Amino acid sequence: MNLNNSRPPAVAGQFYPDDRNELSAMIDDFLAQVEPRAISDVDLKNLQALIVPHAGYPFSGPVAAYAYQLLNQLPKDPNYQVILLGVSHFTAIDNTYADTHDFWQTPLGNVPIIPQNIFPKNKACHSREHSLEVQIPWLQKTLKNFSILPFLTNFDDPRALAERLLTLLQKPNTILIVSTDLSHYLPYPLAKATDQKTIKYILNLNVQFLTPEPERACGLNGVLTLLEISRQNNWQPRLLKYANSGDTYGDKSQVVGYAALVFIKTE
């Protein structure tokens, strides 16, 4: 692997601070604000996957922290394999694509990408995409010892994608993270109602509930894929935290919804 073949951060200084110390302190502050009772009884030994938001940290950070505080409590010894499944906001794609780089950079350092030959590579869709990049500093502050498999997916068949991902999920100490925001730019009351319905379907592992409606969830394909995997492997979801930008940033005229969920393997 070549350290010179590193993806530079595309949204540092926009979605999160580009100063190392400021970024570290911001994440620490978000983690410290997590209500312990919301996560205290989560079965960490059987943690398999997370759903997290991907907006700018001041907007979605108070919600994402609930998911990442769980990772912060995991043992630090293993070298974790983190599969990241996000949405391509700027480049139209009809497949699920890996990145071409060997490392991803953030102000907190470099993270290695695990080589794989299951998914094709596409540098263009990853180059300025934020949905996965914003997860990396959280991982650097919580897991610390990890490598990533970053994938972007928009319209790939969720069942077929689930089957391909299951090959990678067999490795011990693997965590799947799906990146999505929920409703987009709806008035506060309508956003809450829409998001609660979406969350209910996720909690019921209802893979039939969503159609490609932009106001429902931007990372729809990743969510549906996770539901397919969960149905096949007895993973049960649990809501950790919901809020929208009206809660975290104030303006309630047009808000974006955020949720943090954990998926636990049951017997």
Q: List for the chain the helix, strand, coil content (%; round to 5).
A: 35, 25, 40
- Domains observed in the chain: 6-179+198-261 (3.40.830.10)
Mean pLDDT of 255-262: 98
Mean pLDDT of 235-246: 98
State how far the Cα of 40 lies from the Cα of 85, in Å rounded to an integer.
Answer: 26
CA torsion angle for 247, 250, 255, 260 (degrees, to 10)? -30
| Per-residue pLDDT tens over the stretch 134-189 | 999 999 999 989 999 999 999 899 999 999 999 999 999 999 999 999 999 999 99
Task: Give residue 144's pLDDT.
Answer: 86
Q: What is the pTM of this model?
A: 0.97
Residue 213 banded pLDDT, cuts 50, 70, 90: low
Cα–Cα distances (Å) from 41 to 36, 76, 138, in that order, read 9, 20, 22
- Asked whether the predicted pLDDT for residue 46 surpasses 60, the reply is yes
Mean pLDDT of 58-66: 98
For 106, the 3-state DSSP assignment is strand
